[in-house]
Every structure is written in structure tokens, then in C-alpha cells.
Amino acid sequence: MHAAYNVLLFLAIVVSVIFALLVLLTGKGDAMSGGGGVRTTFKGKASFDDFMSKWTFILGATFFVLMLLIDGVSIRMSRLDAAGPAAGPAATPPPVSTPPKKTS
């Protein structure tokens, strides 16, 4: 369970860094205004702003899903840690052997 948490955390860090760089590259123009502006296309090809907007949305959604998964895994890990080792199936003790009785 801890390995899954660590992998998800690593992916979230990578996605967040790429997402932040992408937002910084987009600049302060109206590219991040939610798509209400006029799209510029040349011969039916998408512009750079369209490309950046698409990838910003994809990375943002991926980051959101990763955060939900990390939260779910951490809740499950904390429940397992709080339960402790006694929460597992009870181990049966080995049979006790009694020494044979001496007959005289």
C-alpha cells in the first residue's frame, strides 16, 4: 500500500511541475479565459493557444484525479495502521504436547 502511495505522489509532483510550467508559458493573455474568446485558426489548423489550452485542461484534470487517488490511498493506509497487527486473522497457537504419563 505504501508503494502505491509513493508512486501516486511521484506522479502528482511530476504533473504539477509540468502543469505549472505550462501555465507560466501561457502568459497573461486571454488564452486562459475559459474559451469564450475568438479562436484563431489558419486553414483549419488549431493555433498554439488551442494546443496550450487543451493540455492545460488535461494536466489539470489529471492532477485533480491524482489528488483524489492519493487521498483515498492515504485514508486506507491510516485505517490499516490504526487497526494494528491485531486486526489480521487470528493465528492459531501451535498444539501443546503433554509428556506421556509414567506408569510404574
Would you list the domain boundaries of the chain? 1-29+48-79
Residue 87 has pLDDT above 70, yes or no: no
CA–CA separation, 12 vs 34, rounded Å?
Answer: 24
CA–CA separation, 13 vs 56, rounded Å?
Answer: 16
- Residues 19-44: pLDDT tens digits? 999 888 876 655 555 555 555 556 66
**Residue from 24, 31, 36, 28 nearest 50 by CA:** 31
pTM as predicted: 0.61
